[in-house]
Amino acid sequence: MKNVSRFVVGLTFVGALVAAGARPVLAQDPVKVAPDKCKVLFENDVVRVYEFTLKPGEKMPMHSHPQTSIYSLTDSKLTITVAGGKPESAEFKAGQAYYHGPVTHGGVNTGTTDTHLIITEIKGPHSMTQK
């Protein structure tokens, strides 16, 4: 019975958001949205590391990331659109590392070379402890 009342409270909250005009962004896992472009190299309960490749002209559908570190294997150019935002140009340089906080976005490779990245997603708050 407790689970049923939680479900009803949840539905009521979502209904109130919709009635108020709020449109929640549905988070999409990039590995599930584009498995042909993302190859998981390592995953545990703290991080997921995957290789991402996008050929010139290819699009990556809207998807979400938690905190993320990116290492670029190639020079490439993308047009990235953040949910609810305008398209913006981005350049990645081979051998450079980047960081961004949680984001929902999509993109297209607007350059003449493959975009080839190693992406590490931080799954949640974790602290280091020594034994």
Domain ranges of the chain: 27-122
pLDDT interval class at 119 (50, 70, 90) = very high
How large is the average pLDDT for residues 39-66? 96
Residue 108's contacts (CB-CB under 8 Å, 6 or more residues apart) are 57, 58, 59, 60, 78, 79
Superfamily of domain 27-122: Jelly Rolls (2.60.120.10)
Q: Is the pLDDT of residue 56 over 70?
A: yes
Q: What does the mean pLDDT of the chain come to?
A: 82
- What is the predicted pLDDT for the residue at 124? 73
Residue 72's contacts (CB-CB under 8 Å, 6 or more residues apart) are 92, 93, 94, 95, 96, 97, 98, 115, 116, 117
Q: Is the pLDDT of residue 87 over 80?
A: yes
The first and second tokens of residue 93, run together, are 């340089």
pLDDT over 70, % of the chain: 74
pLDDT interval class at 126 (50, 70, 90) = low
Where do we find the tokens 């009521």? 12
Alpha-carbon gap, residue 120 to 69, rounded angstroms: 5
